[in-house]
């Protein structure tokens, strides 16, 4: 049986293959576009879900991460009980992911080594949280931006509107600045 990674790689190659006949490789950037589609199928970024021995300190590592569009982000549980859940109305909060992006909820991961993955294709800022630890500030931020993106165009997610629940004050204080993520590629606590 193929692994999830092999399945994703095959899907990416198939999509690139479908797109290839439509690309006129004489056009500027067409070859780069075709190779980027294949390369995106191989990109996997990993975020660890951590806790100290007593469970009094919990965090995502890294807390801030920059990835290319099409990257698969995988959260891996190291200890305690955690989730990786997008701020989105379907998860009980105001949206803090790009318009058109699919929200996610890993559900509760309870055994060390368990993982959950999503593919992020829409450029922008994705804020997420751990369900049992959101009030403690266990949040993370992913910035999806292609190489050469206009970093000044990447904005903080807006304030909650329409009666939707905003992140807790501890969560809002914990988000790393977008500029720090863009500068370093990753922000760790």
**The domain spanning residue 60 has which CATH number?**
2.60.40.420
DSSP per position, 93-147:
S---S-TTPPP-B---B-STT-EEEEEE-S-EEEEEE-GGGGGGT-EEEEEE--T
pLDDT value at residue 19: 37
Do 8 and 57 share a structural domain?
no
Do 20 and 85 share a structural domain?
no
Do 136 and 49 share a structural domain?
yes
Do 159 and 135 share a structural domain?
yes
Do 68 and 130 share a structural domain?
yes
Do 81 and 58 share a structural domain?
yes
Do 17 and 82 share a structural domain?
no
The total of structural domains in the chain comes to 2
Q: Is 38 helix (H, G, I), strand (E, B) or coil?
A: helix
Do 36 and 98 share a structural domain?
no
pLDDT value at residue 155: 87
pLDDT value at residue 174: 97
| 3-state class percentages of the chain: helix first, strand second, coil last, to nearest 5 | 30, 25, 45
**What gap in Å lies between CA 15 and CA 122, rounded to an integer?**
17
Do 126 and 35 share a structural domain?
no
Give the range of the structural domain holding residue 4, as residue numbers without chain letter.
Answer: 1-42
Do 49 and 137 share a structural domain?
yes
The alpha carbons of the chain give a radius of gyration, in whole angstroms, of: 18
- CA 170 centroid distance within chain: 20
Do 26 and 60 share a structural domain?
no
Do 101 and 57 share a structural domain?
yes
**Mean pLDDT in order along the chain per 10 residues (189 residues):** 44 38 39 46 92 92 98 97 97 95 97 98 97 97 92 83 89 95 93
């Amino acid at each position: 049986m193929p692994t999830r990674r092999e399945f994703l790689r095959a899907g990416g190659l198939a999509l690139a293959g479908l797109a290839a006949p439509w690309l006129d490789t004489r056009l500027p950037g067409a070859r780069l576009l075709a190779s980027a589609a294949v390369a995106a199928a191989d990109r996997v970024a990993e975020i660890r879900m951590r806790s100290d021995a007593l469970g009094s300190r919990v965090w995502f590592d890294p807390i801030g991460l920059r990835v290319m569009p099409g990257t698969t982000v995988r959260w891996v549980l190291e200890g305690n009980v955690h989730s990786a859940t997008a701020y989105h109305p379907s998860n009980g909060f105001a949206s803090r992911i790009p318009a058109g992006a699919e929200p996610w909820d890993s559900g509760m991961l309870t055994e060390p080594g368990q993982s959950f993955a999503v593919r992020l294709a829409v450029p922008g800022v994705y804020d997420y949280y751990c369900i049992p630890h959101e009030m403690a500030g266990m949040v993370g931020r992913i910035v999806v931006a292609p190489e050469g993106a206009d970093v000044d165009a990447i904005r903080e997610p807006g304030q909650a509107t329409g009666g939707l629940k905003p992140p807790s004050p501890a969560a809002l204080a914990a988000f790393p600045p977008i500029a720090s993520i863009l500068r370093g590629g990753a922000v760790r606590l």
